[in-house]
Structure 1
Amino acid sequence: TLTDPSRRQAGSNQGPLELRSRHCKFLSYMFYQAVRDHKPVWMLEDMRTMEYFYWEENASLRTYSPSEALLYAVVHNHLPYAQYLLSHFPEEALQVPGEHFCYCPSSAPHLAMAVTYDRRDILGLIIKIAHKLPSLNSYINRTGCFHLEDGKTPLHLACELLRSETVLILLGNGASPRIKDSKGLTPLDVILEQMWDSKVNVASKKLCLDYLLLFMPSPQFKMRKILQDHPDHWTALLGEDKFNSLVGNTPTSLYLQAMQTILQSLPPSHFPKSIQELPIPQDLMGHGD
């Protein structure tokens, strides 16, 4: 299935260039399959640096970049290979892949992919490298393509997918809950919209909401008007204190204010170790290592 059937039938009549093209296309597929099958790192690196042709016609001979290889490692959860690529090629591995991958130059596709596929171990490795490189100072807050991905940050994606542990990991490592996507929605809006639209997974939604509020003093969000217009619904869903705080009827609780102050003082590069040493409720500790 790797080549056109008519070409397979006429294989005996193909010239050396076309045969080499087919062979290189096969090698490119073999590399993808090898990452998927979690082959050893040394084997993957040998395959990655082999020259191959892209699937498109008239493409030039080339090799896979560390960035492209890391995308495959994230998708297929090949942790040892991700570790190797990030430790040996930290800046190259986190570059936006080439023109044959549809990503905006200012996006963070590896981080977004790790959130989407729930690869928290690889997510942690990526964030750790980003903290060390000045060129990736704002990496965790990069937005996706405004045309294809609605300008979502990785935090937007984590909230959309209700990955509460990932939400906390991102927030603790410097992800801003105030950035808006192309629709003007903050991550808090994303959660509130889901709570408004459906009663499914309410516990996960509430946990994501609580984590966001821990890192968001004086929250500003687009859904405030809907909360104000339907007080009974939201009071029953959130509780009276949280509802009144969100719509601005009352200040946030002293406990939440104290936690916000403490968390703001923690250096993101030491998260989650720094939060594990705080005397906070156990449910805030279940964010993974």
Structure 2
Amino acid sequence: MPWILSSQLDCVSLTPSQRECERTAFSFYCAVREQLPVWLLEDMRTMEVFSWDDGHPRTFLPSEALLYAIVHDHQDYARYLLKRYTVSALRTPRCSFCCCHGSGAQQLNVAVRYNRVAILSMMVETLKDCDTQGERQDFLDSHGGCSHVADAGKSAVELAVELSHPNCLLLLLVQGARPDGLHAALHRLLSCDISERCHAQRCLDLLLLFLPKPPRLSCLQDEPQRWQSLLGNDVFSWLCGLAPPPLLLQALRCLAQSRSDQISSLPDFFQLHSWQLSVGMVTVEMD
């Protein structure tokens, strides 16, 4: 499974029953990869595909099928699972390696890692069906805690920043995810290749839009000239707490807070400007 660390699988000795479960799971994986019809995949999941749990085989859960749909961008299957099983399709089962309870961040993180914007949009929309606002927030901000899972310890927002996936980041922030990762976004902008700089810049811009206030960052004081040159004087001064945010940034932040669904449809005048040319304005373009 692509979301389980391969080093963990290598050290496990499988029984014949476990191997049969692995065989059926791999057959299902291939069927989703081939984009087979939803009805056929559901027949397989409920009657032919098994996972090993507590010493016994069990049928595949909708949440496990959703992970396969995300990896292979099977949007029809993901849509069916989320519509049919709603939030339960986002509840990851207990990890069979260490018995930790799964985290909703796993599906979100996999969608971000593979940059599955369409499926991620379906997922965050499904979160509106959560019983409480607190449960919904837990899904959005959850950090995968199981060490056997790739990207463990990172929220979906942090992973989107790390991978420079601004469209995924905007979807999460608009739905209320906590805007973590400013330090990582700054260093990503500093260290990324020139071909990735545009996306890294957009991720930083989006975080600044949704931050209630900038955190204290020692890196800015350690190398002020370098960061001032990169960010522009107005934005640098704001992040250092030396000046209020630029007026345009304040206006866009008001829009983000009151009509966040309109951010991606701003006119061209507000999109893809550099910090240097527009006194630190933020870019909010989405492809």
Interval of TM-score (by shorter of Structure 1 and Structure 2): 0.7 to 0.9
- What residue in structure 1 maps to residue 270 of structure 2? 281
Conservation of the 8 A alpha-carbon contact between 1:24 and 1:51: no
The Cα of 1:54 is off from its aligned counterpart by: 4.0
Structure 2 CA distance for aligned equivalents of residues 193 and 277 of structure 1: 28
Aligned residues: 255
Q: 1:23 to 1:229 in 2, by over 3 A?
A: closer
Alignment partner of 2:95 out of 80, 84, 99: 99
1:220 matched to 2:215? The reply is yes
In the alignment, structure 2 segments of 5+ residues that lack a partner are 1-15, 273-282
1:263 matched to 2:256? The reply is yes
Corresponding letter in the other structure for 1:117? Y
Q: 1:42 to 1:240 in 2, by over 3 A?
A: same
Percent identity of equivalent pairs: 39
Identify which range, 236-245 or 65-74, moves more after superposition.
Answer: 236-245
The Cα of 1:64 is off from its aligned counterpart by: 0.3
Q: 1:220 to 1:25 in 2, by over 3 A?
A: closer
Conservation of the 8 A alpha-carbon contact between 1:130 and 1:137: yes
Corresponding letter in the other structure for 2:28? F
| Larger of the two Rg values belongs to structure | 1
Query: Which runs of 4 or more aligned residues in structure 1 lie more than 3 Å from their structure 2 counterparts after TM superposition?
Result: 20-26, 51-56, 101-107, 146-150, 195-200, 274-280, 282-286
Q: 1:150 to 1:219 in 2, by over 3 A?
A: farther
Conservation of the 8 A alpha-carbon contact between 2:214 and 2:239: yes
Alignment TM-score, normalising by the size of structure 2: 0.78
1:135-166 superposed Cα distances (whole Å, 9 cap, x missing partner): 54212111221756463210000000011222
> Aligned ranges for residues 93-242 of structure 1 at < 5 Å?
93-100=89-96, 104-135=101-132, 136-138=135-137, 139-145=139-145, 149=151, 151-177=153-179, 186-198=180-192, 200=194, 201-221=196-216, 224-242=217-235
1:75 matched to 2:74? The reply is no
Corresponding letter in the other structure for 1:90? T
Corresponding letter in the other structure for 2:247? L
Alignment TM-score, normalising by the size of structure 1: 0.78
Q: 1:159 to 1:37 in 2, by over 3 A?
A: same
Corresponding letter in the other structure for 1:157? L
Structure 2 CA distance for aligned equivalents of residues 156 and 91 of structure 1: 22
1:44-86 superposed Cα distances (whole Å, 9 cap, x missing partner): 0010012555479x94232100011001111111110000100
Structure 2 CA distance for aligned equivalents of residues 126 and 52 of structure 1: 24
